[in-house]
Structure 1
């Protein structure tokens, strides 16, 4: 495998030089690369290959850190393409390398895991695994990154640096991105790009924004304990259901009465479990939920207040409460914040590739969460949405729906965007390094 490390501080210096120079229009060479990549991705040879891969992955969904067959398929395809890789990283992850094997390094990422959902769409390639489904489009994400790999490998001699392919496990609550980072395989990367398919966005359109685009989130579980007994004699009990009800109402006040209405936050209780009979007050009740905000500061404040409210409100009803944020299982997800200079780069590439009318660079922020944010805390990163609407005449099915369908005609767009963003970034990077070196030489 051709993968050479260089000093991280040197990488940082070069990147600061890069972002200090505004990224305006792409050069002629990078523009040509972008145009050719979409044409190549739409060719029957590449498109049919991608469709076949996507359907195979869709038929065999695997949950987080269990993506062994998906990982095997990825490695087999990389072997066929002659692309070196590292495996395993973060249990099932695969990290591929295309280009010179030397700096600069730019990464493009796809998540691999499915969801514990029973697919209800009847079609030839329906999930073969009961209770598991690619209901978030990660099968398409893997396929599009493999498509980008195929295109980039065909143009490897034109790559001015190294493209790092990140096939990541466990995005759905498992913090797979964090474990990829801990594996040390991205320590020389100066930029990383990621995408997510959107079933509501028209085919081939993209949407994103500079700055915060997705919220950060945390998870909580609270056990409220009282004293059970017969429903006919509540005076002899300490009712945890009543206490939990008051807790839930009070938690809503954290947003409606304590939060700045111009700084969005969300607290949601999504699970309430307690009792086994209609006429017996249980000894305890469990409630679970999430909290979301667009800054780590606000997330920390919500976390503190959630625990205070639960414990205090339980005490008002003579109950005890314990709160667990399960940080070791469901890590604290930071907000997804897009780098401003990479936003300019994305806009240039996307407009050149798709046309101005297909590119929305003012997408409103969304309260959903993405673990791509872990990368962005240590590497300048950019995340965008890709339209893969199946049929606008059918009822809309959201992500995580057992009825989710995606338009496979969108696969070439994702593959081409991945490849174009990475290859043109490396060209621009090298041009800025050369320009700065020339300026320094003139000063000497």
Structure 2
């Protein structure tokens, strides 16, 4: 029954894939799935306490909103204003720890394969949106989160404390987690767990305590010059394309650092309006990644210097905007992770090394909980993938989702077993404080 529900949910979310800040149908579906359980649901503007980064262009948002129909629910307009995602709280009314889980909900900006051998095509659940595809497994993450919430809510009498389910928008492009920072619900977590499916870990295996989180910044750069006729009066033009090209070539001088891994990549460069016109505008879309914050600062400072120098050389102005970012991961509580790994081994889970090899904005939330004295973990849920993450033929082994639910249920059992912190209720507060 649970496995059937997981597959039903996953295929629904896969079919109605929505990219970052456009998870309108997705948010409403999660609300509809959870509203009849013993959960307090928070959504819309009330869960946001920081700026939202990298919002889509208004024309794109309006076009998509006009193409869909959403049932009338409370705060519908706020959701349609890109205040997507939600936080569900299960309050047992008994003193105990605040245990949090985070599940990302957005799809990739990618057109799904139309291959006849692609399972979503065979079974008719491929994405209806040509501009979005769940090519990273977030459809599975949401499904696991929803079923986990239902199971725990149905067993509330066996639990203590509060369990918080964070359905976070806009993980792709590392944009969403920052906007939820300083949320009082998240601030009072004693434990926080995150999870990702796949990541080169095979079906039947799990990673406990993922490492390899790279700090990152997603950057847009716009050079503004002056257009002119390339034949008649080239000297009157200020070539934004050449300024951008010079910057792109020089960025690669920054890609090494003695303190750890450093990455820099320019993914897009758009410029100009015609072959006989000096380009008056150029836009670069790029990213930097680093093993720690020192490396990210080094790379970002270098990008700024190079852009400034290129602009001066070609007599252009420029703008730099951060469209998304995430930190590297503060170290876990080593004893907690060691004991947790032993616990899962005793329960016959097969553990492997969990190297993320990339960036994930859950690091914001994990770090914040750690700074305030809480304990954190990130899991990798193994799955034999049909193709790599972010590819048009990406697909998971759906049977692995049930293992994901078991993994999270067992995490709650472990915390409720080992947690011996004293808690007190604070007058007029909904959450327990660590004391």
TM-score range, shorter chain: 0.7 to 0.9
Is it true that 1:69 corresponds to 2:25 in the alignment? yes
In structure 2, stretches of 5+ residues that fail to align are: 49-82, 371-375, 424-435
Is it true that 1:309 corresponds to 2:302 in the alignment? no
Is it true that 1:56 corresponds to 2:12 in the alignment? yes
Residue 218 of structure 1: how far off its partner (Å): 0.8
Provide closer, same or farther for how the CA distance between residues 79 and 365 of structure 1 changes in structure 2, counting only shifts above 3 A: closer
Indicate if the aligned counterparts of 1:338 and 1:382 stay in contact, CA closer than 8 A: no
Distance, in Å, in 1 between the alignment partners of 2:342 and 2:154 is: 23
Indicate if the aligned counterparts of 1:115 and 1:135 stay in contact, CA closer than 8 A: yes
Indicate if the aligned counterparts of 1:61 and 1:132 stay in contact, CA closer than 8 A: yes
Provide closer, same or farther for how the CA distance between residues 180 and 228 of structure 1 changes in structure 2, counting only shifts above 3 A: closer
Residue 172 of structure 1: how far off its partner (Å): 1.9
Indicate if the aligned counterparts of 2:385 and 2:394 stay in contact, CA closer than 8 A: no
Residue 406 of structure 1: how far off its partner (Å): 1.1
TM-score, normalising length: structure 2: 0.77
Can you list the C-alpha shifts for 1:372-414, whole angstroms capped at 9, x where unaligned?
01112210322222122145xxxxx222222111110110111
Mapping for residues 50-129 of structure 1, pairs under 5 Å: 50-88=6-44, 89-90=47-48, 91-98=83-90, 100-101=92-93, 102-120=95-113, 121=118, 122-123=121-122, 124-129=124-129
Indicate if the aligned counterparts of 1:273 and 1:286 stay in contact, CA closer than 8 A: yes
Can you list the C-alpha shifts for 1:328-354, whole angstroms capped at 9, x where unaligned?
xx3431113451344224413432344
Residue 351 of structure 1 corresponds to 345
Indicate if the aligned counterparts of 2:260 and 2:292 stay in contact, CA closer than 8 A: no
Residue 147 of structure 1: how far off its partner (Å): 2.2
* Counterpart among 318, 329, 339 of residue 332 in structure 2: 339
Distance, in Å, in 2 between the alignment partners of 1:337 and 1:233 is: 58
Distance, in Å, in 2 between the alignment partners of 1:167 and 1:55 is: 18
Distance, in Å, in 1 between the alignment partners of 2:31 and 2:255 is: 46
Residue 67 of structure 2 corresponds to none
In structure 1, stretches of 5+ residues that fail to align are: 1-44, 392-396, 435-444
Residue 266 of structure 1: how far off its partner (Å): 0.8
Provide closer, same or farther for how the CA distance between residues 276 and 64 of structure 1 changes in structure 2, counting only shifts above 3 A: same
Distance, in Å, in 2 between the alignment partners of 1:345 and 1:373 is: 22
Provide closer, same or farther for how the CA distance between residues 225 and 319 of structure 1 changes in structure 2, counting only shifts above 3 A: farther
Distance, in Å, in 1 between the alignment partners of 2:215 and 2:341 is: 24
Residue 141 of structure 2 corresponds to 141
Distance, in Å, in 2 between the alignment partners of 1:291 and 1:335 is: 12
Equivalent position SS for 1:281: coil
* Counterpart among 350, 369, 384 of residue 389 in structure 1: 384
Residue 215 of structure 2 corresponds to 216
Distance, in Å, in 1 between the alignment partners of 2:141 and 2:298 is: 34
Residue 360 of structure 1 corresponds to 352
Distance, in Å, in 2 between the alignment partners of 1:387 and 1:350 is: 14
Residue 408 of structure 2 corresponds to 418
Indicate if the aligned counterparts of 1:64 and 1:172 stay in contact, CA closer than 8 A: yes
Distance, in Å, in 2 between the alignment partners of 1:68 and 1:224 is: 34
Residue 267 of structure 2 corresponds to 270
Residue 245 of structure 1 corresponds to 245
Is it true that 1:322 corresponds to 2:312 in the alignment? no
Q: Report the count of equivalent residues.
A: 372
Indicate if the aligned counterparts of 2:234 and 2:278 stay in contact, CA closer than 8 A: no
Residue 286 of structure 2 corresponds to 289
Residue 170 of structure 1 corresponds to 170
Indicate if the aligned counterparts of 1:224 and 1:319 stay in contact, CA closer than 8 A: no
Residue 35 of structure 1 corresponds to none
Residue 281 of structure 1: how far off its partner (Å): 3.4
| Root mean square deviation, CA, Å | 2.6
TM-score, normalising length: structure 1: 0.76
Distance, in Å, in 1 between the alignment partners of 2:34 and 2:137 is: 21
Rg comparison, structure with higher value: 1
Distance, in Å, in 1 between the alignment partners of 2:225 and 2:306 is: 17
Distance, in Å, in 1 between the alignment partners of 2:89 and 2:239 is: 59
Distance, in Å, in 1 between the alignment partners of 2:308 and 2:295 is: 20
Distance, in Å, in 2 between the alignment partners of 1:347 and 1:323 is: 47
Distance, in Å, in 2 between the alignment partners of 1:99 and 1:47 is: 26
